[in-house]
Structure 1
Amino acid sequence: MANKIKSGAVTGSRVARQTRRKLLITLIAAATANMAHAQSDSDQPNKSMTGARQSGPAPAVSETALPTVTVTGAGTGADSYRRSSASIATFGDASLLDTPASISVITRGQLDDQQSRLLSEVVRNDAAVGDNYAPVGYYENFTIRGFALDLASSYQINGMSIAGEQNVALENKESVEILKGLAGLQSGMAAPGGLINYVTKRPADVRSVTLETDSRGSRYLAADIGALFGEQKQFGIRINAAHETLHSYVNDADGERNFASLAADWVITPQARLQFDAEYQHRQQRSAPGYQLLGGTAIPSNVSPDKLLGAQPWAKPVTINSLNLNLRLDLDLAPDWHAYVAASRSRVVIDDNSAFPYGCGYGSTCGEGGTPARYFSASGDFDIYDYRFPDDTRRNDQLQAVLQGRFDTGKLRHDLTLGASTFRRTVAQSDGVNEYVGSDNIYNPNPIVYAPSTATPDASYLRLDSRQKSLFAVDRLSFNPQWQLIAGARQVWVNERAFDISGAATRTTDKTLLLPQIALVYKPQADLSLYTSYSKGLTMGGQAPWWTENAYAFLAPTVSRQIEAGVKYDWRGQLSLSAAIFQMSKPYEYPMPDAGGFSYVQQGTETHRGIELSAAGQVSKQLRLTASLALIQARAEDTGTAAYDGHQAINVPRLRAALYAAYAVPEVAGLSLLGGWQYSGSKAATREGNVDVPAYHLFNAGLRYKTSWWGRSTVLRLSVDNLFDKRYWKDVGEYIGDGYLHLGAPRTARLSVQYDF
């Protein structure tokens, strides 16, 4: 079918009468030709000339070719905040209703309405996701279902692994997909919490520019320009670019960001399509470090989010340069068989610089009350370190080949996926500079200035070389329209080597493991599905803190397990509802106290149990929303340290909820009111569970106004986050074994204008 309709609304433009008549005739002809194939789900993507990704076999193509109809625009009015398909849990787009996993998709429309720039502003829409060491000016990390994601393997672009030590730009992303739960079958070695996948925009006839500022004077300029060309529109390119001057709410933590991306599509033949994506980002900003517990037992009080702890005039910004490349070739081999080959590279270089506040080991008040040296003193004293680690380089390379097809054996329908993947992760670091230069107090209104260390960082050297090869197979067996059995497995071969500065291997790990996944799906009716599943995963071991006996050591990979059951319902094809219950377990990693101090070990079991509820889509003609709720019990048992057993895990609230909605005002054409609410229960700030940060509510508000300037579609957006200027602790997670507390952002207003030309 050659006809294609690019999603997007053209608001306020004047179209000549003759053009409208031709367009109407073409649309009527297209609807008539496709009536027999019409689908109830309006969000199901069409196979376009530009080669949109699909799963399984290619559908039969009508011999009647109709003229191409292209409707351009930014899509500001057509996005219902709902997607009916995603690729994150499969090896191509698949219906969420038929996918036996808990998945949420944040659409382009919601990203625009919330004026999101960072992943932390995206994942707040899913109650199962939380911050886990996400300071201002540094790369962010998160938890899913209470388990911290692995920066090495838990983040993807178009289904291919990227280095997580970057703040991925959102300008060229069409959506963000979140898989909650084990993903061993999908990606091999990965954290048990799940995966986050960025889906890039594909080439289209689009020209758009966005200008934005905020209440602190930040400036933002972005352009989105694309075109389809060639006699049959077989070529397409799309360029996204952005410049941002960052005025942080933290004093002296300003920065800037430059970003550019290219997406290119080529329909080589009707059966072969090539896609290429490249993106580069330079980001530099002074990092705002977190607080630590006072005396190891008390939450700091009467502190402000605008204070930069340990501020020193010689401290430099953290600089992060990231490059992500992705190439994919799709081939239609037969009416029911499809294959693709994909290759990717992700490289991140970090110059980590900071006047870093840490502990109180050099201060005279540190020993008061038995304060451990890795915490601030009971009175708020802390030490300042000149912290410089340049040329910290992380690189992920992946190659994957997939064959998908459909066939019958008797009354059974098989949807088969076979594939092979190879993955390599390297980490190169120097031993850097981490030198004490002086001490200060969190309540001192005038920070004391010290001279920097005279030491210089040494050269970077290879610290870790992790290689993974795997073969995988998945078979979806359809017994009848009601029952499906999905059985799959990934055979993984892992070889890891860790090195010291001399190049000698300090650890070698060779591991072979079969990661199975089995699920049963029952659909009593076309818009309702129930599922249950079991899966097994493999996770990279953590890195020991510097203050342990086995400092900086990478532990061996560990095995995790999950059982899950859920129900999904598509109400009238416009509102997706889902519920899931789960249990996940993995070996417990932590610094174990012993006679000599601490040793970083894997001992005991950490088990998370929970319930998730979610909704996304169009509630009425005027109201669209996303909503989610997560109840999680996260506990460790048999750790060998009694104080860590039997209570809620660090940085995991028992209850979290999120709501975001847009209401189109009937009386004012083009005007929508926007609003959101987030709730987090109290969170343990220590592994002993004896210190909690309080629960909090956050409210956001805004509006969107669609109009026409000079005959072109224009969208004005105003948003106010943290409307009531709530003071709260957003994150009390650990980073390489040390605990930090980060204050949330104060009230922030943003104003933007998007103009399509």
Structure 2
Amino acid sequence: MKQFNQFAARPSAMSRALRKAFVYMTLAGTPALLSTAAYAQAVANDESTSATGVGAGDAALPTVTVNAAGESGQHLQTQSANGALGSRSVLDTPFSITSVTADDLADKQILKLGDVFSNDASVSDNSGGYSAWASYITIRGLPADWQNSFRIDGKPFLGYGITLPYDHFERIDLLKGSSGFMYGFGTPGGLVNYISKKPTDTPVRSVSVGYTSGNIWSEHVDLGGRFGNDQMFGYRLNATHDQGETFNEGYLRRNSVSLALDARLTRDLTWDFQSIWQNSNSDDQTPSIYTANYTGATLPSVISGGNRTLVGPGQHLNTNFQLYQTGLTYRINPDWKANLSYSHSSARRNRNEQTIYLKNAAGDYDNYRSDYLEAHTYDQWQAMVEGNARTGFLEHQLVFGASWQKQVNDYTVNSIYQLSGTGNIYAQNTNAYYSNTALRTYHAGEITQQALFASDTLKFSERWSVLAGLRYNQFEQNAFGIGGNRTSTYSKNATTPTVALMFKPEPNTTVYTSYVESLEQGGTPSLGQDNYGQQLKPLTSKQYEVGAKTSQQGWSATAALFRIERAAEYTLGNALVQDGQSIYQGLELGGAYRPAPQWQLGASLMLLDATYKKGSTFTGNRVAGAPKNMATAQIAYLVPQVAGLKLMADAKYTGNTMLRAANDIELSSYTLFNLGASYTTRLGKYDTTFRAAVNNLLDKRYWQYQYENYIKPGDPRTFSVSAKLDF
């Protein structure tokens, strides 16, 4: 706290200026945010009177039009690039996709990945604000694979421990189900693809300031445009600074910069470049609770996630993330284009972290402390050609490509994992441990993937089409000892097909059935397990899906029936093992409806049956972490009496969940409510948007499932406000 107070007393000049602007703008916008129609009328009258003296064109408050309530549906018309599948709209993709736009993200005041998909009933939130678990989600009952389930513009990066700067992205897409054909190895639950902000033909100039409870201030700048002869060069620069005290009296300091460039070298040849750099330092994050040694069938009463009771002195999470990618795109002719790209990403973590080993219903625990460094890098080359052709009466949308990817994992030579004391979850944790500054890493493993892929969407008529695709993968996994000697090698060649039949009863509706096979990287045992550091062999999966999507004037709807067959992984004793199968069968329903121009309604539902099969131990049990049912509901309202004011509310129900494969401990269901408001107006000559959001409105206490045998207290109620000025 002393460190925080000293730094907070000397904020940068930029921070001071932006915060003063924020206070001024917030005071100016507060009456509208509170829907005070009388105040708005008084302002309008005052502006009208002033206009007679200085000129109506300068002083009159312009009409502000906000279309968010009509545009915030399911985004089925969004064009989405899906790896080997090529570019097509979400509506015309024979798989389930959720797309969250930059406006959606801004309205929600996002803290962690679980918040991004809070309106999707197929996504369980396993994440925790400001912690190493901030990117943990479960999709259709399957955990997102932190090594292979994350992409930025389709390029791989490691998601574990990394909270990306969400305001640097144009949208975030979630491809639900097996992604193996489109991107190579990956969990059959789904894949998250962050779409970065790119240069625009229209200049972009904005600055925003925000505040989040407990006491975190954020500043963000977004600049973009084109320059040069014939507007040849484009740029987009985003920079964000977050600093202050977190909701559990921890501390955060995070700086992020992203830069996107492009150059129209000729009429047909374009070069592009994207980069993201982020450095994050946090102290006193809420620890996770490990229950493998817990005795009893009922967990202790839930504690608040909003205090530091579980936090012992010395904890920190310091991360550095970098991604650089570049490519050339050549327009061969109006129907064909080719692309060659290269990307490099690195993620480095320095963690001093507690794990609470819960022992009994009274809340007693053993306190283990880990202290280690980890680093991961990805390099990828990819060449792809896509276009349209015709053979007789058949139309073809063709994609051909090849890729090479290498992943390097570095782990700590002298990591610490030790008992540091005992305690009780209802009393302040006093177990202290301060980091070993001499930690160093060694080259622990390499994973190389090479692939050839091709797909053809054959269009028989305006209504009927068939997708057929094939991906050939060469996978090699090598493990090394501390001295550099190779300790194990695993290699596998596999061909993973996909096929889909699509029917369009009318242009804005698609009915489909699809089948896809996938390979995913085997699990990595966690620190403290007997086989920690031993990457398990790849898993195979199959997915069957039947679905429908429609996007109509004023409403949209989606539905999907799915079955996923996957080799099972779970903890047995104190080791991560592979045994038998896990079968996931479910129904997804989603819809958005605009009954009137000022109203927007939305809802989604997932019913899931996830069961272990053909194993030696837990056959017939529910799969850990897979809730039987989930539901969401949203409402947005444009207040007609105050132009530019939008009010929002949403709720999410998460059904009961089994904590582990033995099914002897069940986490209770819970419902969270959120509120929000945004107000768009003009201050002087500048478009300005004020936003406010309250997450977990009722300050609900609940045990949140994070991973098999791991739980944490859910994040408490948080309040966020921001002001954005376009200039």
Q: 1:335 to 1:630 in 2, by over 3 A?
A: same
User: What is the aligned counterpart of 1:283 among 280, 283, 286?
Assistant: 280
Instruction: Report whether the alignment pairs 1:603 with 2:579.
Output: yes
Aligned partner letter, 1:85: T
Instruction: Report whether the alignment pairs 1:505 with 2:491.
Output: no
Please state how far the C-alpha of 1:486 moved relative to its aligned partner.
0.3
SS, match of residue 112 in structure 1 = helix
Task: Tell me the alpha carbon deviations over residues 432-485 of structure 1, each in whole angstroms, 9 at most, x when there is no partner.
Answer: 1112222122122x43345658x7755211112000000000000001111000
Please state how far the C-alpha of 1:247 moved relative to its aligned partner.
2.5
Q: 1:273 to 1:632 in 2, by over 3 A?
A: same
Aligned partner letter, 1:87: S
Match of 1:62 in 2: none
**In structure 2, what is the Cα distance between the partners aligned to 1:144 and 1:344?**
27
SS, match of residue 648 in structure 1 = coil
Count of equivalent residues: 660
Q: Is the 8 A contact 1:235 1:265 kept in 2?
A: yes
Match of 1:151 in 2: 146
Q: Is the 8 A contact 1:271 1:331 kept in 2?
A: yes
Task: Tell me the alpha carbon deviations over residues 118-157 of structure 1, each in whole angstroms, 9 at most, x when there is no partner.
Answer: 3221021211112346464224222111111111111001
Aligned partner letter, 1:322: F
Please state how far the C-alpha of 1:384 moved relative to its aligned partner.
2.3
Aligned partner letter, 1:217: N
**In structure 2, what is the Cα distance between the partners aligned to 1:537 and 1:183?**
7
Q: Is the 8 A contact 2:215 2:246 kept in 1?
A: no
Q: 1:492 to 1:249 in 2, by over 3 A?
A: same
When structure 1 is superposed on structure 2, of 659-668 and 474-483 the one drifting more is 659-668
Match of 1:80 in 2: 72
Match of 1:301 in 2: 301
Q: 1:452 to 1:376 in 2, by over 3 A?
A: farther
When structure 1 is superposed on structure 2, of 629-638 and 116-125 the one drifting more is 116-125
The aligned runs of 1:168-179 (5 Å cut-off) are 168-179=164-175
Match of 1:592 in 2: 572
Q: 1:379 to 1:183 in 2, by over 3 A?
A: same
Q: 1:411 to 1:199 in 2, by over 3 A?
A: same
Q: 1:310 to 1:357 in 2, by over 3 A?
A: farther
Match of 1:413 in 2: 395
When structure 1 is superposed on structure 2, of 687-696 and 398-407 the one drifting more is 687-696
**In structure 2, what is the Cα distance between the partners aligned to 1:747 and 1:451?**
30
User: What is the aligned counterpart of 1:190 among 179, 186, 189?
Assistant: 186
Q: Is the 8 A contact 2:124 2:139 kept in 1?
A: yes
User: What is the aligned counterpart of 1:248 among 227, 246, 249?
Assistant: 246
SS, match of residue 167 in structure 2 = coil
Please state how far the C-alpha of 1:504 moved relative to its aligned partner.
2.5
When structure 1 is superposed on structure 2, of 131-140 and 279-288 the one drifting more is 131-140
Match of 2:137 in 1: 142
User: What is the aligned counterpart of 2:95 among 90, 101, 118?
Assistant: 101
Task: Give the TM-score of the pair, scaled to structure 2.
Answer: 0.86
Q: 1:599 to 1:254 in 2, by over 3 A?
A: closer
When structure 1 is superposed on structure 2, of 611-620 and 104-113 the one drifting more is 611-620
Q: Is the 8 A contact 1:86 1:105 kept in 2?
A: no
Q: Is the 8 A contact 2:638 2:646 kept in 1?
A: yes
SS, match of residue 652 in structure 1 = coil
Q: 1:457 to 1:301 in 2, by over 3 A?
A: farther
Match of 1:637 in 2: 613
Q: 1:302 to 1:420 in 2, by over 3 A?
A: closer
% identical aligned pairs:
32
**In structure 2, what is the Cα distance between the partners aligned to 1:625 and 1:77?**
9
Match of 1:427 in 2: 409
SS, match of residue 106 in structure 2 = helix
Q: 1:208 to 1:708 in 2, by over 3 A?
A: same
Aligned partner letter, 2:461: N
Task: Tell me the alpha carbon deviations over residues 328-372 of structure 1, each in whole angstroms, 9 at most, x when there is no partner.
Answer: 221110222111112111100100112x1332xxxxxxxxxxxxx
Please state how far the C-alpha of 1:685 moved relative to its aligned partner.
1.6
Match of 1:748 in 2: 718
Q: 1:163 to 1:223 in 2, by over 3 A?
A: same
Match of 1:28 in 2: none
SS, match of residue 166 in structure 2 = coil
**In structure 2, what is the Cα distance between the partners aligned to 1:462 and 1:728?**
40
SS, match of residue 523 in structure 1 = strand
Q: Is the 8 A contact 2:184 2:519 kept in 1?
A: yes
Structure 1: runs of 5 or more not aligned: 1-11, 19-72, 360-374
Give the root-mean-square deviation of aligned CA atoms.
2.5
Q: Is the 8 A contact 2:302 2:703 kept in 1?
A: no
Q: 1:452 to 1:254 in 2, by over 3 A?
A: closer
Please state how far the C-alpha of 1:707 moved relative to its aligned partner.
0.9
Match of 1:200 in 2: 196
**In structure 2, what is the Cα distance between the partners aligned to 1:713 and 1:621?**
22
Match of 1:369 in 2: none
SS, match of residue 606 in structure 2 = strand
Match of 1:161 in 2: 156
When structure 1 is superposed on structure 2, of 225-234 and 580-589 the one drifting more is 225-234
Please state how far the C-alpha of 1:117 moved relative to its aligned partner.
3.8
**In structure 1, what is the Cα distance between the partners aligned to 2:524 and 2:105?**
34
Aligned partner letter, 1:376: K
User: What is the aligned counterpart of 2:458 among 477, 485, 509?
Assistant: 477
**In structure 1, what is the Cα distance between the partners aligned to 2:384 and 2:199?**
24
Match of 1:365 in 2: none
Match of 1:714 in 2: 688
Structure 2: runs of 5 or more not aligned: 1-43, 58-64
Instruction: Report whether the alignment pairs 1:583 with 2:563.
Output: yes
Match of 2:652 in 1: 678
Aligned partner letter, 2:299: I
Q: Is the 8 A contact 1:463 1:500 kept in 2?
A: yes
Aligned partner letter, 1:695: S
Match of 1:221 in 2: 219
SS, match of residue 218 in structure 1 = strand
SS, match of residue 270 in structure 1 = coil
Task: Tell me the alpha carbon deviations over residues 213-265 of structure 1, each in whole angstroms, 9 at most, x when there is no partner.
Answer: 134222111111112112322211111111111422223x2212111111112
Q: 1:488 to 1:712 in 2, by over 3 A?
A: same
Please state how far the C-alpha of 1:618 moved relative to its aligned partner.
5.0
**In structure 2, what is the Cα distance between the partners aligned to 1:206 and 1:628?**
34
Aligned partner letter, 2:422: S
Q: Is the 8 A contact 1:213 1:752 kept in 2?
A: yes
SS, match of residue 185 in structure 1 = helix
Q: 1:668 to 1:521 in 2, by over 3 A?
A: same
Instruction: Report whether the alignment pairs 1:534 with 2:508.
Output: no
Instruction: Report whether the alignment pairs 1:403 with 2:402.
Output: no
Match of 1:230 in 2: 228
Q: Is the 8 A contact 1:123 1:129 kept in 2?
A: yes
Match of 1:128 in 2: 122
**In structure 1, what is the Cα distance between the partners aligned to 2:233 and 2:70?**
25
Task: Give the TM-score of the pair, scaled to structure 1.
Answer: 0.83
When structure 1 is superposed on structure 2, of 210-219 and 330-339 the one drifting more is 210-219
When structure 1 is superposed on structure 2, of 231-240 and 476-485 the one drifting more is 231-240
Q: 1:321 to 1:112 in 2, by over 3 A?
A: same
Q: 1:689 to 1:142 in 2, by over 3 A?
A: same
**In structure 2, what is the Cα distance between the partners aligned to 1:451 and 1:297?**
32
**In structure 2, what is the Cα distance between the partners aligned to 1:348 and 1:389?**
14
Q: Is the 8 A contact 2:545 2:561 kept in 1?
A: yes
Please state how far the C-alpha of 1:690 moved relative to its aligned partner.
2.2
Instruction: Report whether the alignment pairs 1:342 with 2:338.
Output: no
Match of 2:352 in 1: 353
Q: 1:116 to 1:592 in 2, by over 3 A?
A: closer
**In structure 1, what is the Cα distance between the partners aligned to 2:388 and 2:595?**
36
SS, match of residue 232 in structure 1 = helix
**In structure 1, what is the Cα distance between the partners aligned to 2:689 and 2:599?**
18
Q: 1:349 to 1:150 in 2, by over 3 A?
A: same
